[in-house]
Each structure stands twice: as structure tokens, then as C-alpha cells.
Structure 1
């Protein structure tokens, strides 16, 4: 039996939130955090911190076919961006003004992260902390920003990709998938690894584009989509040059994640089909009062959790592994399994004050509607993107590059503000006075003007 996904865009999904999309976004971030907190294998000897990956042991790669949920996050983001942009169009909003709002929401939470991490390595080194763990932590704290850098590209392209979607529909993601396949053929056929970085755009925009199809109710046969995606991934890893794991593993010659490959794209399509097949149950679950309250609470803290969860990991690592000398047990053993819940509890306790302190930055300060035009917002997006990319590659390690990256983000955010414009409008003409009553001007006519600045009238 064919299961058709409801058409939220033809109803009121553009005016109200889609609980299915909200669940996917929260679930995606939660699984990312859980994976990052669970997979490190850590030990400290001398003055060096050794790191490994618990999922590299045994059949741990199988977990990554479910836990690597970034394709689902981009898919949900595509649906959310389509709904948001179409609502803005109905209100008469220009693409530049819409992008300014999205850009501020995306980049503003990064500012406090940079404010803490730029001086922190210098402070820790000054207090006598071993250099290698400090540099490792400060570099990894910035690597998380790769997602925001790529997602920014998807957001910036949304108005134009929506136009292509309106005209060509399914042919747009099909072309992107074909392009990603061609890139992999060239990459592995010629040995030029640099070619593969084209798939950073092609793969993630492809799953983002599938979110547009979902909003229009054009993603039918979800179980067939799931079977096709996972089946194609199995064929690719068995007969192709792709590793089994959907995340990068220590010492692996090829990563399915950096840059993304067709194998990861196939798993992503399988995940989307699986999620769509489960959608009726997910929507019912999201309607439960307890679940709805959790989603409401977590929804306004999602970016904070993503940006700061690695900082919580560094705090606990510094105390437990570096300070107390307790190494991670061998993954999969009874010691590892029994210690894992305690490890997670410690991480949650470390995360809590960060959540309390920095969740307020989820919402950027209110500003006047953007009126700066397309060129200015394009420059703003380029600056923020360049800053995020710099911090992704360099992290917050001591040096000039992190300062320049942070400065680019701040400059881009500044360009999203519109300067207050003063306009002079005639004062309303007063009603002529009754006969025999004198006026201040002597003839009953208005001679004043009103200066309007940011919505306030000044005589």
C-alpha cells in the first residue's frame, strides 16, 4: 500500500510549526551530542592526551548508519526554510530581508562561544596546563562550526533553489545527486582528493532540497525510499571505494563525511525514507503533553547545546582523564558499558551551567527590519561564512586567524542591521476653526512638519 505524506504547504504549515520537522531537528542534534559524548576513547600519559573512537571497534560502524543524522538535520532545515521563505513572500518580504533575519539567528549564538574560547587557551596555558590537550580542545571547539558554515550556504541559496523547485520539482535533487556521483567518480578515478570537496555543496544541498519536496507533499512511498537508500549504500560500500563507517575514523584512508560521499548521501536518503514512514507515529508522540513540553523547552536551547556540548566534554576530560588519570575502558567491555551512564551524567552536569548561561543568546537582539539591499546582505553572508570556515579549520588555537575569523563574523552581523532612516512627512492639516476663534498661525493653516525616526514622532 502506498503511503502519501500530507501536504503541509497547501494547508497551514507555513503559518504553524510542523511537529514532525521539529522532532527531526531536536532528535538530530540530540543524537549528534550523544555520539560525540560516547565515542571518545581517552587516555593521558606524560603531557599528551591520546584520543580514539569507540565506534572503530568491532561492528561499531553499523551504529553510524543510524547515528550519523546530519542528512536528517539538513532535510528538516530545508523544510523549515521553505516554509519560512514562502511565509515571507506572502508578507511581501524581499529575499535580502529574509536572509538577514536567518543570518542573525544562525551567527549570533557563535559570538559568546568565541568570546569565551579566544582567551581561554591563553589562560589555561598561563596556568600551567599541558600544551597538547589545550591545543587539541581549542581546535575541536571550532570544528563544530562546519555545520553552520555549510548550512549558511543552504540558507543563502534557499530563495533561488525554491524557484528552481517550483519549475523543475524532483529534477533538482536528481541533478544534485547525479552531480555528487560524478564528483565521486572523478575523485576516486583520478586520485585528486580536492575534487571531492565539491560534494560539500552538492550532497548537503541535495538533502536540503528534499525538504522542499516534503513541504509540497511530493515525497511518497517512504518505505521504498528507505529501502532504496540503504540498499544503494550497502552496494556502494561492498563494491565501491567507500568505508563502512559514515563518520571519519582514526587512520582511515577515506572518510564518508569529510568530504561527504555518495555512500553518506545514500544513507541519508534511507534515513529520510525511514523517518517519513514513521511520521504518523512521530506526530502522535509529539502531541503528548509531556513530550510537547520537552520539545518547547529544548527548541529554544538547541543551538546552545550544539555549540557548547564539546566544551562540557573538555571540562570532564580535564578533570577525570587529565586530572585524575582515569582512562576510558576498552570499548564494548563490561567496564565501558557500566561506566558509560556515569560518564554521561557527568557531562550533563557540566553542560547545565553552560546551558543556563548561554541559552539567552539563542535569540539575537531585536533590530529594525533590514533595508540594506542584496549586495550588502551578500557581503554579510560572505563574511560570516568566511569567519565560520576559518574557525572550523583553525579552531580557537592561539594566533591571529581565530581573531580574524571572529572579526569577520561580527562584521557580517553588523551589516545585517539597517541604520535608522529619518523621513520628513507633512503634519496633518488641522480642521478649520470656528468663526471668531484665532489660530496660532493666524490663518488656520498648518506650517509644521513631523520628523519620524524608528517609529517615533518628534515635532
Structure 2
């Protein structure tokens, strides 16, 4: 296999705007996909909120365009590995990296979940049927799986980065093998719950692939080799569909996640590597540059707030239909498709407006991190448990309150405590701002 000289990201003096642009587009893709899945109708018994994609023909081809989560985790691995290495070269530590990640991911979530909890309380107090409020809470909580998994993956990143430096191929092979084994057990037993173990293995494997990308190993492959790998991944993916191993609907393969997403991630990574120089050039054009400049520092805020925006729009649509008597179009009908452009533009505009107003939350200065590994482990675990609780139990005024308390505790644990001695706090090592 012929290779060229690796292009190491450690030599880059600035952020890779091409990678930032792709990540920003991934965020937009998620917003658009979730927007298309919202279905609202009004029947004689009242408003009906459902997933518009259930049983529809269009979700499969759309999922092949907008299923960007595998690529997002690859880019997360790329950015995290690059950021950690740069910080360590400047005297930073892995503990500071983890503390910064906890701060950047958890702080915006505290605000969003707190506001949602208050809104749900107000709705119940004003006589909105409890079942509708429960549906709203359930729909809001569904996308939060990403926050919990991404927090876990980023907290473990220094550990897996160290394993990657010692034995890159063995490490990623073991994680991939574990993901495939989980799917095998799930298929053999018919117990779908087993598949949720892959919330760890599938996404960790994709993050690990991002380490190879960050080191320049993938870019170092010849163009022909990358094309062959990408086409082979797609061919293998299609084969799993034809044999009935996995669903051709890539959205269905995310809950619980299956090893098919690894093939999606490989194909996307090869394509990104092939187009990387061109994407980098595009990222410097005026319009893409303004787009990524807006999204990059607000990515988590956009992700966390797009679902409340969608739920508010769905509720407003139902109220409009019930008060005016104007029927809402049936999901997947011609009339429904005609309203989608306006619906999508409105979602993006409202979400962008909220992200603009709340930009200061993600931009808050990262506080001095704890030097205690135990506190960081606990902080990561508490933050993850808070999100898992909302997913398992559902988002209600009570569970939202509990989650906010746990998330605040996670933030506090990531800061200095009794386990940090006075001399450590008085004489910290030089720290570089953790990016990505």
C-alpha cells in the first residue's frame, strides 16, 4: 500500500477551518433531520404529535444524506486528540482537558434543561393535559443521548488516546470487535436492550478513528486507496441491508446503535479526507466562513435548543389549527411537503436566534480545573447519570430538577476541592486553552 508523507495536525498553528466547517454542517444536518421528523395533526380528540417518518418511504434516502452522527464522532476524536496534544505540548494536562470538556458540554445543558423543566411546570399548571406534557418531555429528551455519550467519550479520550499511541491498531480492533460482538448477541437473543451497550463501543470506535485522522495516517494513504476503502465500506453496508442484518434506514440503526454505523463512519471519513483540501478552501470563502464562525462557538447551544424550538412550533401549530379550524396537512402528503421549506427555515432561524442570545454561556471562561483524577471521574459519571436519567425516566418537572442538580454537581466536581492541595493551586502548570 503506497503512502505519502503524513500530514500531522500537530504542525498546524491555527484551527482547521475545513474540519470546523464540516462539524458545523453536521450540526445543521441534525437540526434539519429532526425537523423533518416532526408530525402534527389535530383530530376530534385533540392534537396528535407523532414521528412523521414512521412508516414513510422518504426517511431511508434522507437518512443516507443526513445521518451525520458517525462523522461527528470521528471529528470529535480528531478535534479532541489534536487539542489534547497541543495542550500537552504547551504544558497542559489530560485532567485539564477533561475538566474543560465537562465545562463546555454541561454548562449549556444546565440552562436548557432548567428552562424546559420550568416550561413543563407552567404547562401543567395552566391545564395542559398531562399526557401531552409527557409526550413533549419524552420528545425533548430523545436527542439528549448524544450529550451523555459524547460527554463519556470525551472524558475517556485521554485514556484511549494513550492506548492509541501505544498500540493504535490493537486498540481500535478490540473496540470494533466488541461492537460487532454486541450486535451478534443482540441478534442471537432477540433482546434489543443488549444493543444499548454499543452506546459505548460504537461511538468510542468512531472517536478512535478520528485519532488516525488527526495523526495524518488517513490523509497519507493514496487517493486510490482511500477511494477503495470508502467504496468497500459502502458495499459492505449495502450487503448487510440485502442480507437483513441491518436496516437500510440509517436512523433506525442508531437506537440502539449498531456496528453498521462504523461502516458509515469509515465511508464518510474517506470522503472527507479526499475532499479535505477543497473543503478547507471552501471554508475560507465569505459565506461558509461566516456560517462556521457563527456555529462553532455555539454548537452545543444549537444542539440543545433545536428540539425545544421544534416542540414550541409543534404546539403553536396545534393551537393555531384548533382556534382557526384550519386543518394541518397530513404528514408525508403533498400539502405537507409544500410547507416543509417554510417549516425548516423557521426552525433554523429561531434556533439561530436563541443561539445568538445565549452565546455567552458557551463562551464563559473555563474555570481552574481540579487536579484530582477521582473528582474528574466522579464529575463525568454524575453528568452522564443525569442525562441517562432523563432518557430512561423521561423529562418531567421533577426529573429535570434532579438532572439540573446533578449537572451542577458535575461542574462543581470538575473544579478544585479538598483533594487539591494548596501548593498545587498556587503553582499550576502552564495551561493552554483547550479548543475543539
Q: Report the counterpart of residue 118 of structure 1 in structure 2.
A: 117
Please state how far the C-alpha of 1:125 moved relative to its aligned partner: 1.7
Cα RMSD of the aligned pairs, angstroms, is 2.6
3-state SS in 2 of match to 1:164: helix
Whether the 8 Å contact between 1:82 and 1:215 is mirrored in structure 2 is yes
Aligned residues: 416
Q: Report the counterpart of residue 308 of structure 2 in structure 1.
A: 311
Deviations 1:380-423 (A, max 9, x none): 11111111211233343133x33222211110101122269997
**1:276–1:330 Cα change, 3 Å:** farther
Alpha-carbon distance in structure 2 between the residues aligned to 1:352 and 1:281: 27
Please state how far the C-alpha of 1:5 moved relative to its aligned partner: 8.9
Note if 1:404 corresponds to 2:402. Answer: yes
1:418 paired residue among 416, 419, 425: 416
Quick check: 351-360 or 269-278, which moved more? 351-360
Deviations 1:340-398 (A, max 9, x none): 1121233244335422332221123442x324311111111111111121123334313
1:293 paired residue among 286, 290, 295: 290
Quick check: 330-339 or 109-118, which moved more? 330-339
Please state how far the C-alpha of 1:196 moved relative to its aligned partner: 1.6
**1:147–1:5 Cα change, 3 Å:** farther
3-state SS in 1 of match to 2:316: helix
Note if 1:227 corresponds to 2:228. Answer: no
When Rg is computed on C-alpha atoms for both structures, the one with the higher figure is: 1
Whether the 8 Å contact between 1:108 and 1:364 is mirrored in structure 2 is no
Note if 1:282 corresponds to 2:275. Answer: no
Q: Report the counterpart of residue 217 of structure 1 in structure 2.
A: 216
Q: Report the counterpart of residue 92 of structure 1 in structure 2.
A: 91
**1:124–1:396 Cα change, 3 Å:** same
Q: Report the counterpart of residue 38 of structure 2 in structure 1.
A: 40
- Structure 1 runs of 4+ aligned residues shifted over 4 Å read 1-6, 325-328, 330-333, 419-424
**1:5–1:261 Cα change, 3 Å:** farther
Unaligned runs of 5+ in 2: 429-436
Please state how far the C-alpha of 1:58 moved relative to its aligned partner: 2.1
Give TM-score scaled by structure 2 length.
0.88
Deviations 1:420-442 (A, max 9, x none): 99979xxxxxxxxxxxxxxxxxx
3-state SS in 2 of match to 1:50: strand
Deviations 1:151-200 (A, max 9, x none): 11111111111111112223322222222111111111122333222211
Give TM-score scaled by structure 1 length.
0.84
Quick check: 282-291 or 406-415, which moved more? 282-291
Alpha-carbon distance in structure 2 between the residues aligned to 1:33 and 1:11: 33
- Output aligned runs, 1:134-283, within 5 Å: 134-219=133-218, 220=221, 221-248=225-252, 256-283=253-280
Per residue, is there more helix in 1 or in 2?
Answer: 2
3-state SS in 2 of match to 1:119: helix
3-state SS in 2 of match to 1:300: helix
Note if 1:25 corresponds to 2:29. Answer: no
Whether the 8 Å contact between 2:116 and 2:308 is mirrored in structure 1 is no
Please state how far the C-alpha of 1:333 moved relative to its aligned partner: 4.4
Alpha-carbon distance in structure 1 between the residues aligned to 2:172 and 2:422: 46
Whether the 8 Å contact between 2:10 and 2:82 is mirrored in structure 1 is no
Q: Report the counterpart of residue 374 of structure 2 in structure 1.
A: 375
Alpha-carbon distance in structure 1 between the residues aligned to 2:156 and 2:192: 26
3-state SS in 1 of match to 2:397: coil
Whether the 8 Å contact between 1:222 and 1:273 is mirrored in structure 2 is yes
Alpha-carbon distance in structure 2 between the residues aligned to 1:184 and 1:215: 28
Please state how far the C-alpha of 1:131 moved relative to its aligned partner: 2.7
**1:92–1:350 Cα change, 3 Å:** closer
Note if 1:61 corresponds to 2:60. Answer: yes
Note if 1:359 corresponds to 2:356. Answer: no
3-state SS in 2 of match to 1:301: helix
Unaligned runs of 5+ in 1: 249-255, 425-451, 455-459
**1:54–1:327 Cα change, 3 Å:** farther
Q: Report the counterpart of residue 344 of structure 2 in structure 1.
A: 344
Whether the 8 Å contact between 1:82 and 1:212 is mirrored in structure 2 is yes
3-state SS in 2 of match to 1:260: coil
Q: Report the counterpart of residue 432 of structure 2 in structure 1.
A: none
Whether the 8 Å contact between 2:110 and 2:408 is mirrored in structure 1 is yes
Please state how far the C-alpha of 1:321 moved relative to its aligned partner: 2.5
**1:34–1:3 Cα change, 3 Å:** farther
Q: Report the counterpart of residue 433 of structure 2 in structure 1.
A: none
Alpha-carbon distance in structure 2 between the residues aligned to 1:338 and 1:55: 19
